[in-house]
Structure 1
Amino acid sequence: MEEIFNEIWNGYAGYANYLWHEITHPSWHNYFYWLIGLSLFFFALEWIKPWNEHQPKFRKDFWLDVFYMFFNFFLFSLVIYNAASNVVVLFFNRMLESIGITNLVALEVMSWPVWAHLLLGFVVRDFVQWNTHRLLHRVPFLWEFHKVHHSVEQMGFAAHLRYHWMETIVYRSIEYIPLALIGIGLRDFFIIHIFTLAIGHFNHSNIRVNLGPLAYIFNNPQMHKWHHAYHMPAQRHYGVNFGITLSLWDYLFKTDYIPYDGKEIKLGFPGVEKFPHSFWKQITYGFSRPKKINTTPREESAVASASEKQAV
């Protein structure tokens, strides 16, 4: 029991010291200032050359999303995640030791060239996240949490980090073992994380950049906006364009969908009009049983779309 309390205390104290050091010591290895720098960069692009020029510069829920950026990137770890994850990892390691496993690493990549183990770590993590993202859409109770991210009604860079804190737990839990098996180090994870942060900001931004053939590899605003579309295609109730950083997986597994330029398409999901707008109500959303459980998480989108067509 003492060991558990020590892990909890070390989690809180260690992360608090780390966060304070991040804020007071700007450097190239600093998550805090990378987040600010990348955010200002894409915000400037949205101001200078917006894709949807009719959208307000300070779009709907802009400041809510800015707060989400810092909450999900830093404050959630300070409040609970870091301490709780330390305890979970402790129990997990003890369980492995009880069956004679003391090292999860199955592939020693650190002896490879830097570019090789960075590429492997990035591709493995992105593929795991792509599949996890699909789960968030296909599993009804996970979709309830994911609705927070899809409650964005006007796209902008900061929408990237508007998501329910339960998503952090889901993503990190699922990707933990694959990344542990290939022995990705902290330096590699930092580089991968900053790169994916930049692409995530990019594909949520209100900008239009023609990537040419690279659009079949990397996610981008023109593609990701359709992921946030209010109406899903009738035959794709669960959603489309699940790519996090790479669009490659969607093209490989036929979940891609860009029917036309989506500059001014309606975003959200049927019922978003009644979705909570306050931060507190959003981060507590998903724990109470919904009044109506749909056959599929976004089947109501297809129904609503069909109804509109009939009305026309």
Structure 2
Amino acid sequence: MQFLEAIVISDLAYYMAHRLLHEIPWLWQFHAVHHSIEHMDWLAAVRVHPCEQLFTQICKMMPLYWLGFTKECFAVYAVYSAAIAFLIHANITIKFGPLKWFIATPQFHHWHHSKSPKIHNKNFAVQLPLLDLLFGTLYMPAKKMPDRYGVSNAIPAGYLGQILYPFRGKIKMLINRLKPGIDRYFRPLPVILGFTSIAISSLTAMALFNHMDIPTFIASWNTQQVTVAELQQGKLKTCDFN
């Protein structure tokens, strides 16, 4: 009995959180990563932004914790919730009959992922379709599946790009603020690099001309220069290495 209560309470909380993800623009930026999937399969269940995952899990689990549900109930519900998540995203067309009103099915949830903007705000529950029926957000035409999935906005394909996607506005703003200072400090850089390149090229040419490698050529600058006559007369200066 407690397990059934957990399903109702948790999915009701998730329904509300899910609607917020769609209706609040800055929350949608996180949820859009999940909706960007264009080919539905069971792995779509785990294509979720970490911030969204944290938000929805808190919304789902905290009511159960506050109401004192047992650890055993938590464990069973967690397994059931994960199994349903994989099921509703799976690319299968199993007929559930009357059970489709009591258990979320692929047909039910696939319509939520339809690329049609009119259907994006339908089927918010993930376990109990009756909640959508109750709140007037149910959309489940008989014997039909969506033709296209995804969102109209371009979402990065790579994981890092998807992680940063919700923050792209803030990142762009930060870059624009820092850009004047960056330009001021780095404007002389091309000139410095040019002179450095000329100096290295000249040094290399001089070393080759003297038949030396560059370290030996540089070391020779501090070597005592003597003539043959000075060598013959023993006029070398004493070097103090202390």
- Indicate whether the TM-score tops 0.5: yes
User: Residue 163 of structure 2 is aligned with which of 263, 283, 286?
Assistant: 283
Query: Structure 2 CA distance, aligned partners of 1:122 and 1:225?
Result: 21
What does residue 224 of structure 2 align with? Answer: none
Say if 1:213 and 1:164 are closer, same or farther in 2 by CA, change over 3 A.
same
Query: Structure 1 CA distance, aligned partners of 2:97 and 2:60?
Result: 31
User: Residue 128 of structure 1 is aligned with which of 7, 13, 20?
Assistant: 13
User: Residue 188 of structure 1 is aligned with which of 45, 49, 73?
Assistant: 73
Q: CA deviation at 1:289?
A: 2.3
Query: Structure 2 CA distance, aligned partners of 1:154 and 1:261?
Result: 19
Query: Structure 1 CA distance, aligned partners of 2:23 and 2:146?
Result: 26
Q: CA deviation at 1:208?
A: 0.6
Q: What is the TM-score with the length of structure 1 in the denominator?
A: 0.52
Q: CA deviation at 1:165?
A: 0.2
Query: Structure 2 CA distance, aligned partners of 1:148 and 1:177?
Result: 24
What does residue 88 of structure 2 align with? Answer: 203
Q: CA deviation at 1:285?
A: 1.7
Structure 1 stretches of 4+ with a deviation exceeding 2 A read 172-177, 258-264
What does residue 242 of structure 1 align with? Answer: 124
The C-alpha deviation readout for 1:22-53, integer Å capped at 9, x for no partner, is xxxxxxxxxxxxxxxxxxxxxxxxxxxxxxxx
Give runs of aligned pairs for residues 2-81 of structure 1, distance below 5 A.
none
Identity %, equivalent residues: 34
Give runs of aligned pairs for residues 251-290 of structure 1, distance below 5 A.
251-259=133-141, 261-263=143-145, 265-271=147-153, 274-289=154-169
Work out the number of aligned pairs and report it: 171
What does residue 212 of structure 2 align with? Answer: none
Contact 1:225–1:262 (CA under 8 A) maintained in structure 2 = no
Q: CA deviation at 1:181?
A: 2.2
Query: Structure 1 CA distance, aligned partners of 2:60 and 2:99?
Result: 26
The C-alpha deviation readout for 1:236-289, integer Å capped at 9, x for no partner, is 6x6111111111111111101124544451101112xx2100011112220232
Say if 1:164 and 1:223 are closer, same or farther in 2 by CA, change over 3 A.
same
Give runs of aligned pairs for residues 87-236 of structure 1, distance below 5 A.
116-233=1-118
Greater gyration radius: 2
Q: Secondary structure at the match of 2:165?
A: coil
Q: CA deviation at 1:126?
A: 1.2
Q: What is the TM-score with the length of structure 2 in the denominator?
A: 0.66
C-alpha RMSD of matched pairs (Å)? 2.0
Contact 1:203–1:221 (CA under 8 A) maintained in structure 2 = yes
Query: Structure 2 CA distance, aligned partners of 1:175 and 1:239?
Result: 20
**Which protein has the bigger helix share?**
2
Say if 1:275 and 1:210 are closer, same or farther in 2 by CA, change over 3 A.
same
The C-alpha deviation readout for 1:42-88, integer Å capped at 9, x for no partner, is xxxxxxxxxxxxxxxxxxxxxxxxxxxxxxxxxxxxxxxxxxxxxxx
What does residue 102 of structure 1 align with? Answer: none
Supply the AA of the counterpart residue of 1:216: W
Query: Structure 1 CA distance, aligned partners of 2:89 and 2:66?
Result: 31
Q: Which runs of 5+ in 2 are unaligned?
A: 171-242
Supply the AA of the counterpart residue of 1:211: F
Contact 1:219–1:247 (CA under 8 A) maintained in structure 2 = yes
Contact 2:6–2:64 (CA under 8 A) maintained in structure 1 = yes
